Structure 1
Amino acid sequence: MKKRKEIITRRAALTTGVAALGALLIPGCKQPMPPNYGNILRMGDNFTYAAHRALLSKQSLAKEYSFSDISSMPATGTINPADTSKEYFSENYDKHLRTGFENWELPVEGLVARPGSYSLNQLKRFSPRTQITRHTCEEGWTAIAEWTGVPLRLVLEHAGIMPKARWVNFYSYDGWLDSIDLIDAFHPQTILAYGMNGKNLSIPHGAPVRLRLERQIGFKSMKYLEKIVVSEEYIDPGDIGWAWYNGF
């Protein structure tokens, strides 16, 4: 029994130490740490997040490639939320797919002065950004593709993001919830992509619009965006199987 108490004490001390170090790395930073780290292993993610935010430039760019570098791009995970044979089937997505996304809109809600919804045509009226970047999948493979879309920053500024905002949360038609902090949200390479390799985004790759988050591992670039909610409080996505922050 005494040994178990000693182990718990050491674990608590290490956990507290890592958290404290994270706090020291970002003195005066108003960006809160995401509170979804429930054990000692997750505290390593906490340390990585704090270290990246303290030591790396907030605007440093992921490497961009030339057109000749473009490779084949597998589609993994959900490849069609309108597939009635799958547990992630979405009736709403199915309706939009049947009409060619003619009436599809992306709501932007929460801590914004002008909440509203953006059609695909409205998103395309913003100044676009095209970038050729490497997708690094959490499953171990990589691929290079060209992505075209609107910088998320422009949409958030148009909606009037409020001073209290801390997190940007994304909901998808296949039932996923994930979030990023404002540093990633306002990064110039973070875009709402509607085009891939010079064509409209395909169904397997997340049509009509997906997130492209170039400074994190692939699963953070959520496909099939259904809604964006800006919040002050962190919304825990639950156990997604991977660390919340996967920057590199």
Structure 2
Amino acid sequence: MRDVVEKSGLNRRRWLSGAFAVAGSAFVAACDSVTHNPVVQQALRMAHGLTYRAQRLILPREALAPEYAEHEISPDFKPNGSTNPMASDYVALRDGGFADYRLEVGGLVERPLSLSLAELRARPSRTQITKHDCVEGWTSIGKWTGAKLSAILEEAGLRPEAKYIVFYCYDALNQQEDGPRYYESIDLVDAFHPQTILAYDMNDQVLPVPHGAPLRLRVERQIGYKHAKYIRRIEAVESFDHIEGGNGGYWPDRGYQWYAGI
């Protein structure tokens, strides 16, 4: 199974990783023109919509990302994005060993949840060894264990109007107390995918702070910036209109694609 998926997706992954790296550099170099040029924005939205629909049409909903053997785990898995959030609420949790941490699950659900790490560890889980593809062009292989997001959402009971799952995080990339906090979102296809988990362990150890402790998203069929770290709460929503810039994520609000499937 792995060989078939690996061969069919290898070239696409390599191309997308390089394309995202080039796009990221171009975005940084021309941020103002992209942000303020309506023609460019419309073109990006049209391209994004085409990519999203094509991926959903071509790939089976439960097609698995490649999984690897223990000996293939990267000896030095580079942490991406924030590596040590300085927000006071996160620092207090970190200094207390995350004993007081609770994951809040709300929004368009029938039964809002508030789960401790111990309770999350008691929920249905999955362990997988997968490749992380970063928008910067590098990849690493790691072993992840975490609660199945699908099981958490089923326990909460999504309301019929729910279309997306939003992840709100503790980290602000500018490291300011009042800075914009990181957030990301996925649709229900990815939310209920068997490899989408809320990881609390990495490489058979408790998830370290640089990699998103105490809880991070692993959504294995998408580029690295979709894998939200330092998750504080989850919200089921019908649209992104009321959230930050209205594009479904910290980086999508700044010009990146919302759907980053690979």
TM, length-normalised to structure 1: 0.80
SS state at 1:176 partner: strand
Confirm or deny that 1:177 pairs with 2:183.
yes
Confirm or deny that 1:108 pairs with 2:105.
yes
Tell me how many residue pairs correspond in the alignment.
Answer: 205
| Whole-angstrom distance in 2 between the partners of 1:226 and 1:127 | 20
1:151 aligned to 144, 148, 170, which one?
148
CA-to-aligned-CA distance 1:216-235 (integer Å, 9 cap, x gap): 00110010001100011234
| Whole-angstrom distance in 2 between the partners of 1:38 and 1:166 | 24
The residue number in structure 2 matching 1:44 is 47
| Whole-angstrom distance in 2 between the partners of 1:217 and 1:69 | 20
Q: How far apart are 1:163 and its partner, in Å?
A: 1.5
Give the number of the structure whose residues are more often helix, by fraction. Answer: 2
CA-to-aligned-CA distance 1:50-88 (integer Å, 9 cap, x gap): 11112210000000000000002001220011xxxxxxx
Q: Letter of the aligned partner of 1:92 in structure 2?
A: D
Confirm or deny that 1:142 pairs with 2:139.
yes
The residue number in structure 1 matching 2:11 is none
Q: 1:42 to 1:209 in 2, by over 3 A?
A: same
Q: How far apart are 1:43 and its partner, in Å?
A: 1.4
| Whole-angstrom distance in 1 between the partners of 2:124 and 2:235 | 22
The residue number in structure 2 matching 1:17 is none
| Whole-angstrom distance in 2 between the partners of 1:192 and 1:56 | 23
| Whole-angstrom distance in 2 between the partners of 1:120 and 1:241 | 34
| Whole-angstrom distance in 1 between the partners of 2:239 and 2:138 | 34
The residue number in structure 2 matching 1:25 is none
Q: Letter of the aligned partner of 2:78 in structure 1?
A: P
Confirm or deny that 1:58 pairs with 2:72.
no
The structure number with the bigger radius of gyration is 1
| Whole-angstrom distance in 2 between the partners of 1:242 and 1:132 | 27
The residue number in structure 2 matching 1:193 is 199
The residue number in structure 1 matching 2:79 is 75
SS state at 1:192 partner: strand
Q: How far apart are 1:241 and its partner, in Å?
A: 4.2
Q: How far apart are 1:133 and its partner, in Å?
A: 0.2
| Whole-angstrom distance in 1 between the partners of 2:133 and 2:45 | 21
Alpha-carbon RMSD: 1.3
SS state at 1:173 partner: strand
Gaps of 5+ in 2: 1-39, 172-180
CA-to-aligned-CA distance 1:127-149 (integer Å, 9 cap, x gap): 21000000000000000000000
| Whole-angstrom distance in 1 between the partners of 2:254 and 2:61 | 26
The residue number in structure 2 matching 1:29 is none
| Whole-angstrom distance in 2 between the partners of 1:233 and 1:239 | 14
CA-to-aligned-CA distance 1:158-199 (integer Å, 9 cap, x gap): 111112110100110011121100000000000000000000
| Whole-angstrom distance in 1 between the partners of 2:57 and 2:110 | 30
The residue number in structure 2 matching 1:239 is 253
CA-to-aligned-CA distance 1:74-107 (integer Å, 9 cap, x gap): 01220011xxxxxxx3111011011100010010
| Whole-angstrom distance in 2 between the partners of 1:230 and 1:143 | 30
SS state at 1:64 partner: coil
| Whole-angstrom distance in 2 between the partners of 1:241 and 1:70 | 32
TM, length-normalised to structure 2: 0.76
| Whole-angstrom distance in 2 between the partners of 1:241 and 1:130 | 33
Q: Structure 1 vs Structure 2: percent identity of aligned residues?
A: 48
Q: How far apart are 1:41 and its partner, in Å?
A: 2.4
